[in-house]
Amino acid sequence: MRRIVLSLAVLGAVSFGACSGGGTVLNSVGANTPDKVILTVASSTNVPRVLPGAGLPISAVAVKGGANGVLSNNRFTWSAALVTSGAYTFNTTGQTKPCQAVTMTTGGATTPFGVDFSIYITIDPSNEANVIFTPPTIIPPPAGSSITPHYPYCVIVNATTVDSNVVGSLTVAVVDPQNPLQ
């Protein structure tokens, strides 16, 4: 009986030594640090396309390794930005089309308009890995200017892991209500 207690004490001491520095008994320091973040949309086609004023559910998952092993890091900081160029995926085979620019006219001069769209993200309070992106029906113009959306325009949605600052991005196409399958 004494030998068993002594053996357990030695095993406990070895385990504490292996866990020092944030590791585990297996000393896997950094095993929970993701290589990348994958963003997906919750739709039947998994194509990131949305109408102005409608909501698009987006989920993020932190992964590691070539096989994309899912980690338990499900806390993200979310952001979104209107972009003036780029391409978006328009079908399930991954084909892309160019994004159109939203333009701003001020004093007769027209220029591409890019702005922070993070205000249009609603984070799920029970799981920070899920959000709903809802682009505005009308993009509010800066004072003294007018905005003209050319459809489909694109918004980059980013999810950044809170603990390791690894970023995943998704280009969302905001499509014309008159031609939603653009």
In the chain, the N- to C-terminal Cα span, in Å, equals: 75
Query: Scanning the structure block, which residue is given the tokens 């004093």?
Result: 107
At 98-123, the pLDDT tens digits run 999 999 999 999 999 999 999 999 99
Q: Does residue 84 form part of some domain?
A: yes
Question: Are the C-beta atoms of residues 98 and 86 closer than 8 Å to each other?
Answer: yes
CB neighbours of residue 147 within 10 Å? 15
Same domain (yes/no): 162, 131? yes
> What's CA 138's distance to the chain center, in Å?
23
Same domain (yes/no): 153, 164? yes
Same domain (yes/no): 115, 62? yes
Same domain (yes/no): 55, 14? no
At 33-72, the pLDDT tens digits run 899 999 999 877 778 999 999 999 999 999 988 887 888 7
Please tell me the predicted confidence (pLDDT) of residue 146: 95
Domains held by the chain: number: 2
Q: What torsion do the CA atoms of 92, 98, 104, 109 make, to the nearest 10 degrees?
A: -170
Average pLDDT of span 88-103: 92
Q: Does residue 57 form part of some domain?
A: yes
Maximum pairwise Cα distance, the chain = 91
Question: Is the pLDDT higher at 91 or at 57?
Answer: 57
Same domain (yes/no): 45, 132? yes
Average pLDDT of span 14-41: 61
Domain, as residue range, for 12: 1-30
Same domain (yes/no): 54, 115? yes
Same domain (yes/no): 138, 56? yes
